[in-house]
Amino acid sequence: MQRAVRVYADYREEQSGIPRMLEEMGVLVIRENLPMGDYIMPGDVVVERKTAEDYINSLHDGRLFEQAQRVLESYESLIIVVEGDLERAAKLRGRERQVSASLAALLLEGDVKIVPSGSPRGTALILEALARKAVETRERRAVIHKKPKLGSLREWQLYVVSSFPGVGPKMAEKILEHYGTVEAFCTSGMAELQRVVGEKRAEKIKAIMKARYGEERKGRSLLDYS
């Protein structure tokens, strides 16, 4: 029997039918008014669902890269699922080169993953696989995690900062470049931390820093999707 996994879905996604499909696959779907993205996966991964036409329209009006930047300021990573034939849509709109250039920029500069899907059903299957794999990966890392053999002071600083939830290597670099030291990062106020890492990530970091050892919060934990 597969273990239940949780996915947060924006309430506006209800009309797509995908949240219901996920529930039929055994996924616990929590519907909320998400500040960004359409779904939040375990591991602090945001998924933005776009039809091929949506993708081209958001590229044309400048929303595509603005959305990606805002998501990556607050979450660990972004996956854009594109439903439909993007190549055909781009050809019909005369935007083949622009679409290709945007895909290259997202992948290489923003480290955004682009996943094609043929239908809402296909998207639901992708989301289910992503959620289950993220939980398996997190649990496996928790079991086999060992302190790495690090040499330089810089490597240790990056290792310490990237151990916080939602902080990967790139975000750790950004944090250290802003604060200068690990101590300054750990003692910074909430307002400044939110400006640097985003509101949600800042809440998780402060929750770890301030909680007494062994203390568990009642209700939904801030770290559910760390």
Local structure of residue 146 (DSSP, 8 states): -
Are 85 and 123 contained in the same domain? yes
pLDDT at 141: 52
pLDDT at 142: 47
The answer to whether residue 222 scores a pLDDT higher than 70 is no
The answer to whether residue 138 scores a pLDDT higher than 70 is no
Here the CATH number for the domain that contains residue 192 is 1.10.150.20
Are 113 and 45 contained in the same domain? yes
Please report the beta strands in 52-142, taking only residues with DSSP state E, as ranges in sequence order: 77-83, 113-117
Q: Please, what's the b/e burial string for 31-52 (b: 16 or more CB within 10 A of its CB; e: otherwise)?
A: eeebebbbbbbbbbbbbbbbbb
Pairing outcome for strands 45-51 and 77-83: parallel
| Chain mean pLDDT for the chain | 85
From CA 186, how far away is CA 197, in angstroms rounded?
Answer: 13
From CA 98, how far away is CA 90, in angstroms rounded?
Answer: 8
pLDDT at 147: 62
Are 160 and 192 contained in the same domain? yes
pLDDT at 73: 76
How many independent structural domains does the chain possess?
Answer: 2
Q: How confident is the model over 77-133, as pLDDT tens digits? A: 899 999 999 999 999 999 999 999 999 999 887 779 999 999 999 999 999 999 988
Please tell me whether residue 27 adopts helix, strand or coil conformation: strand
The answer to whether residue 212 scores a pLDDT higher than 80 is yes
Are 16 and 118 contained in the same domain? yes
Q: How confident is the model over 24-50, as pLDDT tens digits? A: 999 999 999 988 899 998 877 899 999
Phi, psi of 111 (to 5 degrees): 55, 40
To the nearest whole percent, how much of the chain has pLDDT over 70? Answer: 87
Are 97 and 191 contained in the same domain? no
Domain contains 206:
yes
Domain contains 224:
no
Return the ∠ at Cα 205 (arms to 199 and 208), rounded to 5°: 140
pLDDT at 193: 92
Q: Which domain holds residue 177?
A: 153-210
Domain contains 219:
no
pLDDT at 195: 87
Domain contains 189:
yes
Q: How confident is the model over 151-185, as pLDDT tens digits? A: 788 889 988 998 888 787 888 889 999 999 999 99
- pLDDT band (50, 70, 90) for residue 226: very low
